[in-house]
Amino acid sequence: MSSRINIGFIGLSSKGGWASSAHESYLKNSSIYTIKAIANSTIESSKSSAEAFGVNKYYATSEELAQDPDIDTVVVSVKVPLHKSLIMPALLQGKNAIVEWPLGRNLQEAEELTQLARSKGVKTMVGLQGRQSSVVKKMKDIISSGKLGKILSTHLYAGGILWGPTIDESKSYIADIENGANMITVLGGHSLDAMCYVLGEFESLTATTHNARKTIELRDEKGNKIRDIPLTSHDQMSVSGVLTSGAYASAHLRGGSYKGTNLLWEVEGTHGELQVRGPNGHLQLSFPTLYASFDGEDMIEIAVHDEQDTHVNVGRAYDEFAKEGGLYPTWEDAVIRHRMIEAIYRSAQTGTKQTYKTTY
């Protein structure tokens, strides 16, 4: 890749949102990347965003953006059901590609995209930025060092904020499980990816999914109730099994936000323990606190000094993507995570233990 990476960005809105807070906030100060062009859902939106973010070129469609010879990498940060259709033109033009997690609505879409990217020889990254969390990396370092001894078990308990009693109209699509952006794929995908990144994949798993709430209250931008809509995305999920390392693992994920525990992740070894606590169940975008106990001593906080902002972990992923041999989640990693999620669904539907292929 050239010393400067030129980005075509699909889904960067001048009205705010994840793309502007997590991506543009990093990219605007980057010495590595330049946003060369923007394409949104309408030409008017594209023009507005280009003017707001100081970008010279804007397009009406992803096809037009993909044909721009000045662009070598295309970023897609839009609703999950549109991921595949919007990134396909870039792949066909041989552009490198960065897409938010989930990569597709389901495993089939993720596999199709990954196969095409591999056939074109392009570089890919998926937005599983929890791997860039300082806490996650510190846990991985401690475990790899052997300080905890043999890992015996791990337990994860997380709240999803969303998929609770109410939802904003702008996010209503996540209530429908068919759209692929649900509690299991988003909260589960990010948190279980961090767990598997640190401790290894499931050798086998058993899962239960449930809808404690059958409907969710839809609210307008002022917080007023519009109506109740069906909630087909699960708001409760538990999964347990044995990891490839031989350790036992369990997780309970639930929708909503609570006054009690929203994030608790524990790892137990023969010579020590780790514990992560935080007010937000989304490990990938929050900054929890890490505690450790070694050889029976009391738990102590392991200091991790981080800038606490939405763009931090996303920016670190961009930094790694720019390096030769950088450590970042590829689309092959995304396929493995989609396989795990499909195994969770199969187990919940059949009531049987399931496995999935843990390598690409």
Cα 77–Cα 79–Cα 85 angle in degrees, nearest 5:
80
Task: Tell me, yes or no, whether 106 and 242 share the same domain.
Answer: no
Final residue of a domain: which of 99, 122, 145? 122
Q: Mark whether 103 and 223 lie in a shared domain.
A: no
Give the residue-averaged pLDDT of 101-123.
98
The 3-state DSSP composition of the chain as helix, strand, coil percent (nearest 5) reads 35, 30, 35
Instruction: Say which CATH number the domain at 45 has.
Output: 3.40.50.720
284 in the same domain as 245: yes
Instruction: For 45-71, write each residue's pLDDT tens digit.
Output: 999 999 999 999 999 999 999 999 999
Question: Both 186 and 285 in a single domain?
Answer: yes
**Same structural domain for residues 270 and 232?**
yes
Residue 149 within a domain: yes
Domain boundary among 96, 122, 148: 122
The verdict on residue 265 lying in a domain is yes
* One domain for residues 23 and 148: no
What is the number of domains present in the chain? 2
Other beta carbons within 10 Å of 360? 14
Residues 144 and 276 in one domain: yes
Q: What is the pLDDT of residues 168-225, one digit of tens each?
A: 999 999 999 999 999 999 999 999 999 999 999 999 999 999 999 999 999 999 999 9
Alpha helix ranges (H) inside 121-202: 134-145, 189-199
Looking at the domain assignment, is residue 232 inside a domain?
Answer: yes
Nearest to 128 by CA among 341, 290, 274: 341
Beta strands 202-210 and 289-294, pairing class: unpaired
Q: Please indicate, yes or no, whether residues 21 and 56 belong to a single structural domain of this protein.
A: yes
Please state, as a whole number, how many other Cβ atoms lie within 10 Å of the Cβ of residue 297. Answer: 9
Share of the chain above pLDDT 70, in %: 99
* Domain extent for 31: 5-122
| Final residue of a structural domain among 122, 140, 166 | 122
Residue 352 CB neighbours (<10 A): 9
Question: In whole angstroms, what is the distance from residue 157 CA to residue 225 CA?
Answer: 30
Phi-psi region of 200 (alpha: psi -120 to 50; beta: other; left: phi over 0): left
Residue whose C-alpha is closest to residue 76's, from 100, 56, 102, 60 = 100
358 located within any domain:
no
Q: What is the pLDDT of residues 246-260, one digit of tens each?
A: 999 999 999 999 999
- Give the pLDDT score at 1: 44
- 266 and 180 inside one domain: yes
Is the pTM above the cut of 0.75? Answer: yes
Residues 271 and 346 in one domain: yes
Torsion sign across C-alpha atoms 231, 348, 329, 39: negative
